[in-house]
Amino acid sequence: MATKLLLTFAICRLIVTVGLTLDPTELLLLGVDGQLSVDPTDVETASLDFGLLTRAAPPLAVLHPASAQDIAQLIKAAYESGFGFTVSARGHGHSINGQAQTANGVVVQMSGLKRGSGRKPPQPRVWPRERYVDVWGGELWIDVLRSSLEYGLAPKSWTDYLYLSVGGTLSNAGISGQAFNHGPQISNVHELDVVTGKGELLTCSEEQNSELFHAVLGGLGQFGIITRARIPLEPAPQRVRWIRVLYSNFSAFTRDQEYLISQHAEQFDYVEGFVIADEGLINNWRSSFFSPRNPVKISSLDPNGGILYCLEITKNYHHSTASTIDKEVELLLKKLDFIPATVFTTDLLYVDFLDRVHKAELKLRSKGLWEVPHPWLNLFVPKSKIADFDKGVFKGILGNKTSGPVLIYPMNKHKWDQRSSAVTPDEDVFYLVALLRSALDNGEETHSLEYLTNQNRQILRFCDEAGINVKQYLPHYTTHEEWMDHFGNKWDWFYQMKMEFDPRHILASGQQLFKPMF
């Protein structure tokens, strides 16, 4: 009780003294096991994200929690205090549009260890017999993988990039080429510990507090802060055969992708794809896999100068089955209709495959090309309209400049639990189209942030006018009407859950979904 009062007192002081330098000794009064910081570096970090598009007014303070109890105390103080302030969890800050920021509130920095701090959140705990792992909400997926591999186990569903937090991806969906088979990461959770917007720490699952469980999964941080997730594991494959094949015909490409996701995992374990529109080397930060000594020119494969589509598939295996993998892959490839002689194959450790994007990150960082604005647009496009999207966007609006990888791969809706907060198109199969663009200040108009941002608007307008009912993934809207439209028939339930679990609208205000009520 005394600790709670001290925390409330200190937060109120923060609010009253906003703009003034806080006496560091005051932090000692806070009584949390972690650290409540007003260090300018912490505050600056918490007002930025990967998108580098939005710089919100800075938060008042940043909490580096040592435990779920620290977070519960903070939120309770926000909920009960007469002043009121917002609280946003920040995972690894890999949002695009300020979703983990909060102006004039407190950011809870879930990922990353605070230098020199005392107690830390718990490490992943693997339960090998039960085949699951308990992880802190701010844990990065790369560390979940490393801990599980010590027991020869691994989670089943991934994102392409592993330096994302468990709480951050579970607040969206968490998708990659395994989602067609295992569903998104939100379909692969046994249990959560969540601190609600009232400061209550609750355990939830299918059986216990099930409404909270489903609301939080894909819930954009609106109902609570995930402090622990129990993730199911499977025996980890040892190696991966990674294959890319090219198409110039879009319908052959999507036919093969849809065929592959209709099959079970005895086929391929991962199905993705991307668009190659820029002339020249088909290398970008997501496709370094093609040998630079063997550049593939689009014009050499498609004399009409059109665009190419690359299907990306993998087959996992163990050393014990290494002798049959060549034959297996050859038989599977026989069923596909790609351009002959465009098979690119590589073979690597499972962990290296899963961690592939990090290698690209390091390269881009070394060239100063990672910390640049990222006007990304991620859309779920219904299968029935994907050909219209190809004509209007890939072959139309984009021209032959993509300014970054453009991913396209289908998923099965039945692998998504409809009781979660995540929103998908109303068809059995839908595609992720991810325009992962980087804006550069290099004098070229088509690389500029303004150009790419306008192009994103043009794409959304085109979809609207062409009757392509896309749903944004990692959605970004600023008006109430747009959000209601996004959630469609889930809106009433979503609102009801908000009123139940965060009635003062304290949490995740950076999503711009609900106005704080104080």
- Catalytic residue numbers read 94, 160, 272
Site map 350..389 versus ligand FAD, x via CB under 6 A: ----------------------------------------
Residue among 8, 109, 157, 171 that touches ligand FAD (CB under 6 A): 171
Q: How far apart are CA 248 and CA 342, in angstroms?
A: 11
In angstroms, rounded to a whole number, what is the distance separating the alpha carbons of residues 350 and 356?
10
State the minimum distance, in angstroms, from the CB of residue 393 to ligand FAD: 20
- Concatenating the DSSP letter of every residue in 263-292 gives S-TTS-SEEEEEEE-SSS----TT-TTS-T
User: In terms of CB distance, is 124 or 168 closer to ligand FAD?
Assistant: 168
For the segment 118-157, give every residue that binds ligand FAD (CB under 6 A): 137
CB-nearer residue toward ligand FAD: 110 or 470 = 110
Q: Determine the Cα–Cα distance for residues 302 and 134; give it in Å rounded to an integer.
A: 50
Which residue's CB is nearer to ligand FAD, number 88 or number 284?
88
User: Is residue 508 near ligand FAD by the rule CB under 6 A?
Assistant: yes
Give the distance, in angstroms, between the CA of residue 422 and the centroid of all CA atoms in the same chain. Answer: 12
Check residue 284 for interaction with ligand FAD (CB under 6 A): no
Tell the residue number behind the tokens 């790419």, with chain if given: 452
**Which residue has tokens 């991806």?**
169
Cα distances (angstroms) measured from residue 209 to each of 153, 225, 415, 420: 28, 15, 22, 13
Contact flag: residue 89 with ligand FAD (CB under 6 A): yes
Characterize the bridge pairing of strands 201-205 and 239-247: unpaired
Q: Are strands 377-382 and 344-349 parallel, antiparallel or unpaired?
A: unpaired
Task: Report residue 19 as tokens.
Answer: 């703009």
Note whether 164 binds ligand FAD by CB under 6 A. yes
Concatenated DSSP letters of 356-396: HHHHHHHHHHHTT-SSS----EEEEEEGGGHHHHIIIIIII
Helix (H, G, I), strand (E, B) or coil at 312: strand
Q: Does residue 95 interact with ligand FAD by CB under 6 A?
A: yes
Q: Which stretch binds ligand FAD (CB under 6 A): 21-29, 30-38, 172-180, 421-429?
A: 172-180
Phi and psi torsions of 167, nearest 5°: -65, -35
- DSSP code of residue 58: P
- Contact code string over 216-245 relative to ligand FAD, x by CB under 6 A: ----xx---xx-------------------
| Residues 24-53 within binding reach of ligand FAD (CB under 6 A) | 49-50
Count of chain residues binding ligand FAD (CB under 6 A): 36
Q: Of 159, 181, 421, 438, which lies in the binding site for ligand FAD, with binding defined by CB under 6 A?
A: 159
* Residue 94 within binding range of ligand FAD, rule CB under 6 A: yes
From the CB of 169, what's the least distance to ligand FAD, in Å?
4
63 binds ligand FAD (CB under 6 A): no
Coil vs helix vs strand at 420: coil
- Show the binding pattern over residues 445-464: x = contacts ligand FAD (CB under 6 A), - = does not: --------------------
Does residue number 99 form part of the binding site for ligand FAD (CB under 6 A)?
yes
- DSSP strands (E only) in 8-86: 35-37, 61-64
CB 174 → ligand FAD: shortest distance, Å?
A: 5
Q: Rule CB under 6 A: is residue 162 a binding residue for ligand FAD?
A: no
Summarize as ranges the residues that interact with ligand FAD (CB under 6 A). 49-50, 88-95, 99-100, 110, 137, 159-161, 164-165, 167-169, 171-176, 220-221, 225-226, 474, 508, 510-511
